[in-house]
Amino acid sequence: MAKEHSFDISAKIDMQNFKNAINMAEKEVANRYDFKGTAYEVNYKEGDKLLVLIASSDNKLDALKDIVIAKLLRQDLSSKVLEELRVEDSSGGNKKVTFKVVDYIESKEAKKITAEIKKLKLKVNAQIEGDAIRVKGKSLDDLQKVISEIRSQEWEAPLVFENMR
């Protein structure tokens, strides 16, 4: 009897890498000439899974966003881990943007992913298990085709393929 192989599709992010990226962004902003003497803040609220950026103007806020995203990419994290919730005025004439940290796949998107896997007509089975999608099949080649096909498409969640057995 052939052994069955599997892997999981999830949106888990390495929180240590995320925190490192935020810390590196804070250090870079502190040393940048264009931020000297201006009000800015990078605040990660771990319990609420929110990242709040505050800057003195729209231009500074855009620069701050770019720095944070560059540091996330350097830590091998997708820019999709941040979902912009709102941009608003803050006290003192500052601008504030709030991001939600995305580390899960929403159920609608999980259903779309499993439907997409079924469309491939490969001998694999995809099931939603909690906050991950487990894909099982007897052929490693089929599983690798699923991975490459799902990676080639655009999804809202930052997908991670893990636990290949």
* d(C-alpha 2, C-alpha 143), whole Å: 15
The pLDDT assigned to 98 comes to 85
The pLDDT assigned to 48 comes to 84
Which of helix, strand or coil describes residue 75?
coil
CB count, 10 Å around CB of 64? 24
* d(C-alpha 35, C-alpha 55), whole Å: 9
**Domains observed in the chain:** 5-12+105-162 (3.30.70.860), 15-101 (3.30.70.990)
The pLDDT assigned to 132 comes to 82
Which of helix, strand or coil describes residue 9?
strand
Sign of CA dihedral 71, 75, 78, 80: negative
Nearest by Cα to 48 from 103, 93, 125, 123: 103
Place of tokens 């929110």: 50
The pLDDT assigned to 2 comes to 55
* d(C-alpha 39, C-alpha 44), whole Å: 17
The two tokens of residue 117 are 């896997």
* d(C-alpha 13, C-alpha 160), whole Å: 8
- Residue ranges of the chain whose pLDDT lies below 70: 1-2, 164
For 98, residues 6+ apart whose C-beta sits below 8 A from its C-beta are: 50, 51, 52, 84, 85, 86, 87, 88
The pLDDT assigned to 57 comes to 81
The pLDDT assigned to 1 comes to 40
For 91, residues 6+ apart whose C-beta sits below 8 A from its C-beta are: none
pLDDT in tens, 80-111: 888 888 777 777 778 888 888 888 788 888 88
